[in-house]
Structure formats: structure tokens, C-alpha cells
Amino acid sequence: MNIRQLAKEQEDYVIKCRHYLHAHPELGEHEVETTRYIREQLEEMGIPVQTFEGITGCIGTIEGGQPGKTVMLRADIDALPIQENPGKSYCSVNPGVMHACGHDCHTAMLLGAARILSEHKAELKGTVKLIFQMAEEIGRKSEEYVKRGALEGVDAIFGMHVWSAMDLGSASFESGERMACSDRFTIQIHGKLSHGSAPHQGRDAILAAAAVVMALQSIPSRINDPLDSLVVTVGMMNGGTKENILADHVELVGTVRAFNREFRAGMPERIKELVTNVAKGYGCSADCDYYFGPSPLINDDEELVELARKAAEKELGEGCLKHLPKMTGAEDFSVYMEHIPGVYGYLGFRNKEKGIVCSHHHPSFDIDESVLCHGSGIYAQFAVDYLEKKA
């Protein structure tokens, strides 16, 4: 099976799918029409489709001609609340919603891979499952599929992201830490009202909150091992009613980005202890709430990483593999990797000659579409190689 050639043959189809999806974006958890479109495409290929009560997205299953393991390929399908800049013939027709991250590309590429694999299913030594996942931009929504049994019987999972910082023709599939967790904390500081001319009669929640913001930076700078990347950011500070009144309540909302799983697990208690003691020093009290978002994404299965690297080389040629530094952005593909072995990587599409240089989440975001058929090829090649190796 010459997957590289087969992928090239799907180029027009994959671009057509991408244009439709790009023009009809939907926000996370609301991808109703997107799911309908994907389902129609898969059913036209003769692929059985599974949907789930209460959530969007779906799974297609391709049963191979021979028994074997089961590998899952994942694409995310949601868009972003961004107004797209005009100029494309396939611009979003939904005001204020845009595929500005490339999820339309992932979906189209996986549909292309579905065509390749379904047309040659007799040669497959096992089963390929195609998961089209909702709401990646929201957080841990991939967990909804896990709860509904989507990973039952699956032996490994593969995913990738088109990446604006990498040139067309390049790819990155590397071992170790790739993306950080994305956790959220909310802190409530409780003080006592008083007039600004008599601060001694109150307890200034704003002053205490300011001290808390500064103290939180002691966690990455003095408590965390400096060799382990850690970011603690307070992005929202809300409180006060008037310029001459001491606030009796302030809310702080922030995020934690970490790679060290053990250290991350202890963050709620560290934040609570520090915040409580600092607030107490200003005569205030504090409540803390911590939400664990997507886990750190760490490629720790060397066998799968090597399979992914070889799949990329077969599709893009020798020399395509490039180093991409780990990032403190997050990706809820990591939730799947909490349950089964997986590997995740990046596919470059940046093309300065064509002016395709915008970063993800930009209103003018676009890709060099010649990358799409290669993405389909890498998806399909990984699945075939994994099933062959495990046969």
C-alpha cells in the first residue's frame, strides 16, 4: 500500500472538506452541523459511525480484513469566538466564529485518511477508530468521550496539530514534555468595609489581594525546582465599589501551567496555604478553589514516538523532522493519554512566499493547503504501521 501516493490522490477531496468546514465553523459543544457533515462523509465511505447522547462529535470504525489491535486517530472539530478578516472565498459565514486554530484542517485530514483506510481495509491487520472530538478549546471535554466508553478496546491513540511556527514540509514528533497542564484557580479575599479616610476601621481586601498576587510568584521562584517549568498567572482581579471605600471582597482568577505531574498535584494545597496566611496578615480571610484542566502532554511511549516519526518521514521525506521546543499551552489530547498509550505531534505549514505567516487564533489565520494531503497520509501511515507492528 503506497500511502503517500494514495494521500496525494485525496488532495482535492481534503481541500474541499476543509473549505466547507472553514466556512461553517461552530463553537465547542455546539458542533451540531459539523458532526452531521462528518457523519455523512464517513457513511458515504461505508464507515459505521457512533454518536453520543448529550455531546457532539462522533467516532467512525474501520474493521480490517485481519484480526489485530485497535488504534485510534483523533481530530478536534471546534472553532473559536473570533471574527474572521475577509479575503478568502471560503471565509466563515457565521458571524463572530472562525476556525482560527486549524481544527478544520485536522478534521479534513482525518476524513482523507478515512478514505484511504476504508478503501484498503482488507489489508488492515486490526481496527482503526477515527474520533472527531468536540470542544478542544474549552478544556477537558475529551473526558466526555472517555466517560462514555470511547476508549474501550483501544490499544493506542495518535494525534497531531498543524503548526504555524513550523515551515511547510516539516514535522515534530518528539519524546518527553510537549505541552503543559492548564489549571484554573479562583481566590476570594474577604475583608471589612470602611471609609478610605479611616482605613484602620476596616480590613482592606484589595491590599490583601495585591499582596497575594505578589506572594503567588514565590511558588515558581522559590518553591518549585527551577529546572521544572512552572507558570502561575493571575489574570483577573475584581473588587471594590468606590474610590474612597475599602473593599470588603476581591476575587482573583488565574492559571497554572506545569509539566511536573507530582508537583502539579500539590498546587491546590500550596496555593491555599500561602493565600490563607497572607490574607490573615492583613486581617482578612480567604477561600480558594482549584480546577484541574488538561494534564501535561508528555510523549513517554518511545515506541509510539518512533512510529510517528517514521510515518512522517515516509510521507514528507527524510529531513522533515525538526525540533520544536515544549510549550506552556495546553491540549486535552493528554486526557486520553491518562488512560491509554498515545503520541502527539505537529505538522508545519508556514509559507512566507505565500504570505502564510499568521499565528494561531489570529483573525487572518490560514494555512498552505498543500499540507493537508500530507496530514492525511501521516494519519493513515501511522495506523497501518502500528497495526502491522502489533500483528
If you write DSSP's letter for every residue of 348-367 in order, what string do you get? EEEBGGGTB-PPTT-TT---
Asked if residue 161 lies in contact with residue 331, where contact means CB atoms within 8 angstroms, the answer is: yes
Say how many C-beta atoms besides its own lie within 10 A of residue 285's C-beta: 16
Q: How many Å apart are CA 230 and CA 276, to the nearest integer?
A: 21
Q: How many other CB atoms are found less than 10 A from the CB of residue 250? A: 26
The strand pairing partners of 58, in sequence order, are: 132
Instruction: Report DSSP state, residue 339.
Output: T
Alpha helices in the chain (DSSP H): 3-9, 11-23, 32-44, 103-119, 143-147, 205-216, 218, 261-265, 267-281, 302-316, 333-337, 372-390
The 3-state DSSP class for residue 200 equals helix
Burial of 374 from C-beta contacts in 10 A (0-12 / 13-18 / 19+): buried
361 labeled part of a ligand binding site: yes
Cell triple for 128: 482503526
Confirm whether residue 269 is marked as ligand binding: no
91 is in an annotated binding site: no
Q: How far apart are CA 81 and CA 3, in angstroms?
A: 36
Q: Taking the CB of residue 199, how many other CB atoms lie within 10 A of it?
A: 12
Sequence-distant (6+) residues with CB within 8 A of 250 are 188, 189, 191, 205, 206, 208, 209, 237, 238, 239, 240
End-to-end CA distance of the chain: 16
Residue 302 backbone dihedrals phi, psi, to 5 degrees = -60, -35
What are the angstrom distances between the C-alpha of 95 and each of 31, 83, 84? 15, 6, 8
Q: Does the annotation flag 101 for ligand binding?
A: yes
139, 140, 145, 151 alpha-carbon torsion, rounded to 10°: 130
Name residue 246's amino acid.
Answer: L
Residue 332 DSSP code = T
26 is in an annotated binding site: no
Three-state DSSP at 198 gives coil
Q: Binding site for Mn(2+), residues?
A: 101, 103, 137, 161, 361
Residues annotated within the binding site are: 101, 103, 137, 161, 361
